[in-house]
Structure 1
Amino acid sequence: MKQTPAFSSHQKLVVALLALTQFTVILDFMVMSPLGDMLMKSMSIKPNQFGFIVSAYAFSAGISGLLTAGFADRFDRKKLLLFFYAGFIFGTLCCGLANTFYTMVAARIVTGLFGGVMGSISLAIITDLFDISLRGRVMGFVQMAFGASQVLGIPIGLYLANAWGWEAPFFLVAGIAVIVMGMIFISLEPVTAHLAVQRDKSAFKHLLHTVMKRDYRIGFTATALMSIGGFMMMPFGSAFAINNLHITQEQLPLLFMVTGVGALFMMPFIGKLSDKIDKFRLFAAAALYMMVIVLIYTHLTPQPLWIIMSLNVLMMAGIMGRMVPFTALTTGIPDLEDRGAFMSVNSSLQQIAGGIAAVVAGMIVSQKDKFSPLEHYDTLGWVIIGLTIPCIFLVYRVSELVKAKLAKGAAVVSVPVATEA
């Protein structure tokens, strides 16, 4: 295994700020799943309608990413981050104030328009400031936000929801986000190196230039396929746990907390591992492992709580074991002048694919009444397995592209060194 260099103090600050930012954005998105059963009962909505609420965020985020892709490399990335973060906070407040199916859909659309771009801006900052040999660790730490949202955010949010109503978690997220936004404004330095290498005169030409590159399109396709599989189970996770596995509303925070603790321990380890061994091999092993766990979980019947928690932790290991090396690989595809646009388009396709997955999952899963078990949830497991197999092949192609690009860069750098010798 190869040794990796340490982070500088400024890099550590950047990682911490981006992790906090992602914590709030991921919490806003992830809290929809544990609140799903509560929202479906409170608003008297059916599974297909709840799937539409989830997909409304994803589709609006995808559209927003495409619309901003042409402009993503034309501004200081810090200013872009602050602008979209402010819009995300406003949308989250609207979610807490919604009281019908239609107002919730509208609020999720607003939140998605701004929050859906946050991930791509963060990835562009990471790609600008960190060498690819460090990005596995960076992604491991930043994606600890996923685990932290489950350890801290979701249990606290569910506790508040049980005590004061489902609206409370959204107000919690907005309050935390305001504090994080102030920290970014004060502490984060401008990120402007990409401005010196811009060639395209118009935003549309820049977007078209990015989309037309064949290597980029391979990365886009892999991301879309990854997202379709990943989003299918998520919207109905709490409803399945409560109605099929007989988890109580009081036990649900504990289930998410234990899963999140597992993710917190796994993220740094997976990140370091992906910087020391071949990223594709790690991805492929995690994908095959995840297929087995997903098949077991989606066919699960009522079990003791400790078995359900253990399976959730094992499933999270597979999901994160795929995501960290895959994300690190995709950051190696774009050139410096295209990174913002590439990340925006990539994020858009991720969100749109996730929205399609949520809609399709809502069409597959059914429920006879508010308290009946979900039907056909096991079908989702088979669909996810069917999508994961071609995804492994696409990620292999991404890996080969990145290796070829790195080899080409190394060859160019070595030319003047050989001449001087």
Structure 2
Amino acid sequence: MDNQQPLAFTGYQKLVIFLLAITQFTVILDFMVMSPLGDMLMKSLNLKPSAFGIAVSAYAFSAGISGLLTAGFADKFDRKKLLLFFYIGFIAGTIFCGMAQSYVVLVAARIITGLFGGVIGSISMAIVTDLFALQQRGRVMGFIQMGFGGSQVLGVPIGLYLANAWSWEAPFWMVAALSICIATLIAIKLQPIVKHLSVQTDRSAYKHLLHTVGKANYRVGFAATALLSIGGFMMMPFGSAFAVNNLGLTNQQLPLLFMVSGVSSLIIMPLIGKLSDKIDKFRIFASASVWMMLMCVVYTNLGVTPLILVMILNILMMMGIMSRMIPSSALTSAVPEMADRGAFMSINASLQQIAGGVAAAVAGMIVTQQSKGSPLQHYNTVGYVIVGISVLGIFLMWRVNNLIKQKVDTNKIVLKEDGVIHEAM
């Protein structure tokens, strides 16, 4: 499955990759900027870690609920129109965040942003699965996931600079302005994506949702995604607070730390994407997971540490995180059939967001802080929990990998029997 010669991209496919990557950049930046703003928000709004954990998880929970609500009809419309609809709603929510002047209003704004922004990733995944063969998706995921690194290289440092210069609301205004420009590009350049409509059934949205959830193979993919998300989200909300209050970094050093981590992501992700299209994706995922577990334990047990060492450890940890995200996304994309892709991706993204919300809330309950500026306590416990969850994640992704191999073998048998070239997964 993974040893075939990688397929080249067409010019239009390259354009689609760019549009999806830049869209993901803004959505991920809107979510990620909450973490580096964490110390500033906790102090300016006088929040405890548990309250900040709720502010972060509010986006994730609303995004998860939105994904479940849209899953039933996600395969019944032009994917371009769906993408634009939810992206415009995301922009409106981000503007609302920039206007927030209290904790309650901020949480409400995060909920609105999550209702729209949380669905964009699943629509993008469905577009990728429609337009790209399985042998291309490792590279596609690598480029699209560069939005994660790009947000750290450019977005988060610039956002922190604006927050330090003006206020914590400034980064949200920056994201909104950039997103308006991108929405215009999508409207002009992206072609309608309607191929999936030709294989649709007459099932209602509710029945389509139940049909998708009811498939045992799909549920394995859902469970794997949920566990990966819990492990990935637990450290994130308190990353900046831990760096400032435990590692001894200053607020002025945080942009540099995030920039260095982001640059490493931009370098690592395309390499891992190419590698996962050439060799076994699961093997890369399992190796990266073990590496990430080791680095999480080391990092969460640090005390006051020089900036250069914190940067190095962040890069090493980022290598593990990124190297498992790309092959796992590519593997999961091969699970659903074409008629179920939109619903599957919506449910999958919903579970990812809900699991992330649970992770942020649980981390908020584990981590404590005696007073403003005092070191966070029990952050290392979060690292140990991540290790346990990651072990279960490896097992579930192994099951996903086996399901895909069976699916490939079945398709080969059908191809031999009727001589028809069937759709690539």
CA–CA separation in structure 1 for the residues paired with 2:396 and 2:169? 40
- Does 2:184 correspond to 1:185? no
CA–CA separation in structure 2 for the residues paired with 1:378 and 1:252? 20
Q: CA deviation at 1:304?
A: 1.1
CA–CA separation in structure 1 for the residues paired with 2:362 and 2:348? 21
Aligned to 1:53: 55
Match for 2:12 among 10, 13, 29? Answer: 10
CA–CA separation in structure 1 for the residues paired with 2:332 and 2:277? 14
CA–CA separation in structure 2 for the residues paired with 1:204 and 1:243? 48
CA–CA separation in structure 1 for the residues paired with 2:4 and 2:287? 20
Aligned to 2:251: 249
Aligned to 1:88: 90
Task: Summarize the alignment of residues 320-339 of structure 1 with structure 2, pairs less than 5 Å apart.
Answer: 320-339=322-341
Contact 1:62 1:116 in 2 (8 A): yes
- Does 2:240 correspond to 1:238? yes
Aligned to 1:151: 153
Aligned to 1:396: 398
CA–CA separation in structure 2 for the residues paired with 1:153 and 1:2? 36
Aligned to 2:114: 112
Aligned to 1:202: 204
Aligned to 2:30: 28
Match for 2:310 among 304, 308, 311? Answer: 308
Aligned to 2:223: 221
- The alignment partner of 2:313 has SS state of helix
Aligned to 2:260: 258
CA–CA separation in structure 2 for the residues paired with 1:15 and 1:265? 17
Aligned to 1:360: 362
CA–CA separation in structure 2 for the residues paired with 1:27 and 1:42? 21
Contact 1:144 1:267 in 2 (8 A): yes
* Letter paired with 2:14: K
Q: CA deviation at 1:337?
A: 0.2
- The alignment partner of 1:48 has SS state of helix
- Does 2:63 correspond to 1:66? no
Aligned to 1:295: 297
Percentage of matched positions with identical amino acids: 65
Q: CA deviation at 1:414?
A: 2.2
- The alignment partner of 2:192 has SS state of coil
- The alignment partner of 2:235 has SS state of helix
Aligned to 1:129: 131
Match for 2:375 among 373, 376, 382? Answer: 373
Contact 1:200 1:206 in 2 (8 A): no
CA–CA separation in structure 1 for the residues paired with 2:139 and 2:409? 22
Contact 2:301 2:380 in 1 (8 A): yes
Contact 1:326 1:395 in 2 (8 A): yes
Aligned to 1:280: 282
In the comparison of the two structures, how many residue pairs are matched?
418
* Letter paired with 1:235: P
Match for 2:352 among 344, 350, 363? Answer: 350
* Letter paired with 1:126: V
* Letter paired with 1:354: G
CA–CA separation in structure 1 for the residues paired with 2:70 and 2:174? 28
CA–CA separation in structure 2 for the residues paired with 1:392 and 1:417? 37
Aligned to 1:405: 407
- The alignment partner of 1:32 has SS state of coil
CA–CA separation in structure 1 for the residues paired with 2:376 and 2:202? 51
Contact 2:366 2:381 in 1 (8 A): yes
Contact 2:126 2:342 in 1 (8 A): yes
- The alignment partner of 2:356 has SS state of helix
CA–CA separation in structure 2 for the residues paired with 1:240 and 1:415? 60
Q: CA deviation at 1:91?
A: 0.4
Contact 1:364 1:377 in 2 (8 A): yes
Could you state the TM-score of these two structures normalised by the residue count of structure 2? 0.97
CA–CA separation in structure 2 for the residues paired with 1:236 and 1:200? 46
Contact 1:36 1:236 in 2 (8 A): yes
Q: CA deviation at 1:3?
A: 2.3
- The alignment partner of 2:234 has SS state of helix
Greater than 2 Å deviation, 4+ residue runs: 414-418
Q: CA deviation at 1:303?
A: 1.3
Aligned to 2:423: none
Q: CA deviation at 1:140?
A: 0.1
* Letter paired with 1:40: M
Contact 1:78 1:188 in 2 (8 A): yes
Q: CA deviation at 1:18?
A: 0.1
- The alignment partner of 1:120 has SS state of helix
- The alignment partner of 1:276 has SS state of coil
CA–CA separation in structure 2 for the residues paired with 1:215 and 1:113? 27
Q: CA deviation at 1:190?
A: 0.4
Q: CA deviation at 1:417?
A: 4.0
Where do 5+ consecutive residues of structure 2 fail to align? 421-425
1:138-188: CA deviation from partner (whole Å, max 9, x where unpaired): 000000011000000000000000001111100000000000000000000
